[in-house]
Amino acid sequence: MISAAQNKKITQVGPGTPMGNVLRHYWYPVAATSEMENKYTKKVRLLGEDLVLFRDKSNNLGLVQERCPHRGVSLATGFPDEEGIRCPYHGWCFDNKGNCTDQPNEPETSTFKNRVKINAYEVQELGGLIWGYLGPKPAPLLPKFDGFVAENAIRMIGHATLPVNWVQVMENSLDPAHTEWLHGHFDNFVKEQRGEATSNAFIRHHKKIAFDTFEYGIVKRRLFEGQSEDSDDWKVGHPIVFPYILAVGGTGGEGSYAFQMRIPVDDHTTWHVWYQAYAQEPEVTIPEALKDVPLYEVPYLDENGDYLVDYIDGQDIMCWITQGPIADRTDEKLGTTDKGVILFRQMLNEQINKVERGEDPIGVIRDEAKNQFIELPLEKKKHHYSDGFGVITKRFQTRFSPIVEELIEFYEKEKVKM
């Protein structure tokens, strides 16, 4: 339980707020690369700021404030120039540094445009995503975490915009005990209702849970009843990469990566991105059908507005949303299995203090030598995936990927790294 003031402090993301200042030290996905292939603008809301991502005719990307400084039209409705984006209303043009480069109806001798600037932010592409950085300069390096840079990989990206604050979504990742109930007992209840076979993959009791802080955040480990202390689940575990990424091993065994990214849109909204990379040995040829990086929507409500609870991520989403837009932490009763949640909150507060002292928060990378291929600690053999590739891939949000059948067929045929 924390006070209302403390709750506000860790959940506010806007400019000038204590946590907003921390969050502005990290890069965030703002689009999939594929989204910008056939269009020139995308409206983006990130950390409480309304922005537009654009691509100009020279293929430069830009991320600028959405509002045209002339009379407020959305630049997301704009059109590309050779260099920059033009407002559709009176044709003012802005480059990706935020300079106003043209005001067509001002006198030719006017210097007015030199005094008009808009907010502009850095963008970079990596791993099929376009990333933006809104924070203080100089920008840190965009981290090359393993899954984003692994070579010869099949990739796919699911996403959903959820009406919740990002902190409660992250807290779920520090709460391993929920898996045996939500994805075990509750899941089996749902399966029984639907007349489907139940599963033991998630139902095993957690005998022990542990959390260790490391360079990029917190590693979470668990020991299930009947499991040896030598198991990867206990010895290795997987990390919460501060502040907004959960990294888990992909369902394809070694070389497969899955990131759950909880991108704070504003105080009440999170853009959830599920990023999968299935890396293959260099000699394996990836089939044509699996070469593009599709972006697909992950639905979480059915046609009646009820939660879709027949897949793992939908069960999590149900819990996040029913906690309320911002979970009320002034009225909770934390138990022994919530020690990871408490540790995460401590880490949030520590980073607020660090940033207030003028330091970088945890995990900010400024050393190029460190940023080549950052291998995160990741269990190779995960008990949760014991039902096998095809079954488990259909039990997660990956079921909604447009290439899921081809992916399963590829894995079952090649038996790659299973």
Residues that bind ligand FES (CB under 6 A): 68, 70-71, 73, 87, 89-90, 92
State the nearest-atom distance from the C-beta of 12 to ligand FES, in Å: 31
Instruction: Show the DSSP H helices in 245-323 as ranges.
Output: 312-322
Whether omega before 138 lies within 30 degrees of 0, making that bond cis, reads: yes
Q: Minimum distance between the CB of residue 79 and ligand FES, rounded to whole angstroms?
A: 12
The DSSP code for 307 is B
* Residue indicated by tokens 């991520």: 313
Q: What span, in angstroms and rounded, lies between the C-alpha atoms of 378 and 387?
A: 19
- DSSP helix, strand, coil percent of the chain (3-state; round to 5): 30, 30, 45
* CB-nearer residue toward ligand FES: 9 or 113: 113
Q: Does 316 interact with Fe ion (rule: CB under 5 A)?
A: yes
Name the minimum Å distance from CB 174 to Fe ion. 11
Find which of Fe ion, ligand FES, none residue 71 binds, CB within 5 to 8 Å per kind: ligand FES
Binding mask 175-194 for Fe ion (x = CB under 5 A): --------------------
- Residue 375: which of 170, 173, 146 has the closest Cα? 146
Phi-psi region of 415 (alpha: psi -120 to 50; beta: other; left: phi over 0): left
- Which helix (DSSP H) or strand (DSSP E) does residue 4 occupy? helix 4-11
Nearer Cβ to Fe ion (316/379): 316
Comparison of 173 and 280: residue with beta carbon closer to Fe ion: 173
At 174, which amino acid appears?
L
Least Cβ distance, residue 48 to ligand FES (angstroms): 23
214 interacts with, out of ligand FES, Fe ion, none, CB within 5 to 8 A per kind: none
CB of 171 to ligand FES, least distance (A): 42
- Binding-site partner at residue 89 among Fe ion, ligand FES, none, CB < 5 to 8 Å by type: ligand FES
**Least separation in angstroms between CB 69 and ligand FES:** 8
In this complex, which beta carbon is closest to ligand FES, that of residue 73 or of residue 321? 73
Query: In the bound complex, which residue of the shown chain has the CB atom lying closest to Fe ion?
Result: 316
Q: Give the one entry of ligand FES, Fe ion, none that residue 316 binds, where binding means its C-beta sits below a cut-off of 5 to 8 angstroms depending on kind.
A: Fe ion
Nearer to ligand FES, 70 or 144 (CB): 70
Residue among 131 and 202 whose Cβ is closer to Fe ion: 202
334: Cβ–Cβ under 8 A, 6 or more apart, which residues? Answer: 1, 341, 342
Distances (CA, A) of 325 to 11, 269, 338: 11, 8, 20
Pick between residue 78 and residue 140 the one whose CB is nearest to ligand FES.
78
Residue 336, judged by CB atoms within 10 A of its CB (0-12, 13-18, 19+), counts as exposed
User: Closest Cα partner for 376 from 220, 234, 169?
Assistant: 220
Q: Cα separation of 221 and 210, whole Å?
A: 5
Distance CA 132, CA 125 (A): 9
Report in angstroms how near the CB of residue 234 gets to ligand FES at its nearest: 59
73 interface partner picked from Fe ion, ligand FES, none, CB below 5 to 8 A per type? ligand FES
Residues that bind Fe ion (CB under 5 A): 316
